[in-house]
Every structure is written in C-alpha cells, then in structure tokens.
Amino acid sequence: MNPDIYAGVDVGSKNVICVIAEADEEGILHITGAGQSPTSGSVIEGVIVDLQGAAEAASQAIEEAESLSSWKITDTAVSISGSHVRGFPGRGTVNVEREDEFVSGKVTWMDIEDATETAQLIKLPRESMILRTEKCGYTIDGSSRLIRPPIGLRAERLTADIYMVTADRTAVLNLEQVIRDSGKNVSGIYPAASASARSVLTPDEMEIGVVLADIGADTTDIAVFHSGVLAHLSVIPCGGESITRALQQIRIPGYEAERLKREYIDISSRSKTQDKEITVSTFGGRSTIPITDEAVNEIAYRSAGNILGDILCELKQAGIQESDLPAGIVLSGGTSYLRGLTSVASRIIGIPVEVGRPGGIDMSSSLIESAEFANAVGLVLLSHEEESELEERKVSNPLNKAVLQIKGLIRKLI
C-alpha cells in the first residue's frame, strides 16, 4: 500500500462502510474510494455475533472502495461500538526531579509519560482493556489546567489528566478477526464516537462545549468535548431500528416500516390534523392497509423520544449541565436523517440540536457527504493524524539528540 493512503472501516449494526483517502504533499486528504455493504444481522447492538457474515460484509465494502480507488489497501483503521465501550477520567501525579537542593527541576517528556502512566494505573475488570488514552491537560504546582505539556517549566510536581476509553477484550478480538478475515491488517482501533466527532465537529465547538451523538441502527455513540478535549464517551444500546420495530406494531413488514420511516414520517408534525392516507402492504404482502400519517408520526415520535430521553439521561448521569454545552448537540449516523428529529430533540433535551456532515477532507465524492459516512471519514482523519505525529517524532528525535550532543560538546570545550 502506498504510505500516503489511509483507510477506515466502520463495522456498524446495519452497514459496514469503508473509506479510502490519499494524502497530498500538503497533507490534505482526498477521498479516492468508498464502499458500503449491509451487515445482515451479523452485528447486533454494535457487537459482532457472526464472524463470517461480518467478514463478508467488510470484504464487500472494502472491495467496493478499492475498486473506485486506484489503490489496494493492506491496513485499515477500524471503529468499535457497543455498550461495553466506556470512558472515564484518570489523574496521575509525579515528582519532577530536582536540579539541586534549592532549585526545582524542569519538566521533561519522561515526566509527562510517567504521569500519564500513573493516571492509567486503575483496576480494570478482567474482561476489559484500555482502548485509547486521551491526554486532557496538565497541572504543575497548583497551576490552572494547561493543555500543552509544560515541557521545560520548573515544577515540584506534575499532574496529568487523562480520559481513558475501555472496551470488552473479546469484542475487540472479534473485530480484529473480522478485518483479518477480510485480508487486511488493523492499523488502529478507535471508539466510534471519537471517529464521528473527528469528521463532524469543529475545533471551536470542541473548545466551547459540544455533544456528538451518532445515532446508527442499534447504537447511539456519544462523545462530549469541552475545552478542546474529550470529557465523556459512552454508547447507548438504542438507535433507529427501534423506530422501525415500533412502526411494525401496526402489523406491517420491516421493509414497509423502513420505507415509512424514510419517506413519510415527520416526527415534528404529529399534532397536525390534516390526515394524509398512506397505503402499505401487510405481513406477507398479500394485501394493503390504509394508515394515516398522524398515526405513524405519533408512533415514531414516541420511539425517537425514547432515544432522545436516553441521551438526556446519559448526559445528566455524567454530570454534564446545559451550561457546559453552548454548541449544543451535533447529530450524525443514518438516523439523523429522520425528519423532524432536530426540532424535537432540541425541545426534549433543551439545547440546540443540529445535523452534522463529515468534513475536514476533500469532498470530491458526493457519497461520503452523507451522515452515515461520518465514522469512516473520521477514522481516515484520525489515522492520518496519528501517522503524521509518529513521523514528526521520528524526524525530531534524531535531530534533538544531535542538538543535545553538540551542546554537550560545546559545554565541555568551554
């Protein structure tokens, strides 16, 4: 694979989506291919329940993306969802080595690493593993929180604040297996909410306070950002399929419920009385029945209301206040297309709600403008960022060493 090619595979409950992008000399990513394939029951509530089915869906999505792109990929980033994916904060403090009895030492990268490692020292359940560690900030000797590592500053003690995301080990292993069975290596695993947030949210929103809610088929992936860093991450095991299932209560098959949901329903207009009649097939497709839009809007409203209520509950339980979220909630995922969702959500949750679309990448392919692609586009952006950081460190390390050696030599000579 060309080193400037990045791929992301989002194994969702309804669809596997693959995006391939190429970075130009300026580091701007251009989409070269995208593919989508239904998971057909092999992923439930974000968790893989049928390895072969999920691998077939992943292979198809990847092949479709590769056929549009002129590149075959060898590695890909992948996202993980499911209610086992959880985040929590951690804090670690270390003493900074003193220069002498009277002068405190300067903070080094080693201190930063040590404080971060100390913050990670938590007792995890045996079945869990740390998926990602986000660095949230640092404090030295009672300073206010610093976002940049305070390298070179003199301090007695250094505290690192982190946010860890953990996941069920077996779910991670199964996901890796699916990608390997599709003939690819896993270059990194990211929480689905972090991936969607990366492509949908702006740095300004993350700074001031915002929630990303990716409402997919069986899951709603939530990430809250404040002061530019991840403040909360969780997954609610509920999504758009619950609306489709609720609509089936009027004794219609799944495909008709899905059609109604996509084409007719507007959950914000349930109280209107100008009943429009719609004809839908019954189970088995042998006959049709007339239903009113008012009736189905009401069912969808209640069902969507449950998802929105769960989001509100999750935020409250995490201690997140309305005042922490001036930028409101930004929605992504397929269910964000549900007509009337944003206005109903603003009313129920009490803060502004908007639909976001993936960005931060050259959008020459109209396919990836859709909300379902937020996750895979975010994966590509995150893995490109991580690769660039690694490259930077590689480049800067030998240089740093050389500079230090020269400085030492000069000191000896003087």
d(CA 84, CA 125): 12
Q: Does 8 bind Mg ion (CB under 5 A)?
A: no
- Closest to 261 (Cα-Cα) out of 342, 337, 372: 337
Going residue by residue from 231 to 250, which x/- string records binding to ligand ADP, judged by CB under 6 A? Answer: --------xxx--x------
**Is the CB of 172 or the CB of 331 nearer to Mg ion?**
331
d(CA 150, CA 160): 10
Closest separation between CB of residue 19 and ligand ADP, Å? 13
Q: Does 92 bind Mg ion (CB under 5 A)?
A: no
> Judged by CB under 6 A, which of 8, 13, 368, 378 binds ligand ADP?
13
Query: Binding to ligand ADP (CB under 6 A): which residues in 248-287?
Result: 258, 261-262
Closest separation between CB of residue 255 and ligand ADP, Å? 11
Rounded to 5 degrees, φ, ψ at 308 are -65, -40
> Judged by CB under 6 A, which of 8, 87, 209, 334 binds ligand ADP?
334
First to last CA, the chain: 51
Q: What Cα–Cα distance (Å) separates residue 343 from each residue in 206, 209, 260? A: 22, 20, 19
Cβ contact 339:265 at 8 Å = yes
Closest separation between CB of residue 310 and Mg ion, Å? 17
d(CA 244, CA 218): 11
Closest separation between CB of residue 175 and ligand ADP, Å? 14
d(CA 211, CA 325): 7
Give one DSSP letter per residue of 193-231, joined into a string.
Answer: HHHHHHHH--HHHHHH-EEEEEE-SS-EEEEEEETTEEE
Query: Binding to Mg ion (CB under 5 A): which residues in 340-399?
Result: 375
Match 């206040």 to its residue by tokens: 321
Closest separation between CB of residue 127 and ligand ADP, Å? 23
Closest separation between CB of residue 322 and ligand ADP, Å? 27
> Judged by CB under 6 A, which of 37, 330, 372, 377 binds ligand ADP?
372
Query: Binding to ligand ADP (CB under 6 A): which residues in 169-228?
Result: 216-219
Q: Does 12 bind Mg ion (CB under 5 A)?
A: yes
Sign of the CA dihedral with 260 first, then 371, 54, and 217 last: negative
> Judged by CB under 5 A, which of 33, 82, 216, 358 binds Mg ion?
216
Would you tell me which residues interact with ligand ADP (CB under 6 A)?
12-15, 216-219, 239-241, 244, 258, 261-262, 333-335, 337-338, 372
Please report, as ranges, the residues that interact with Mg ion according to CB under 5 A.
12, 216, 333, 375
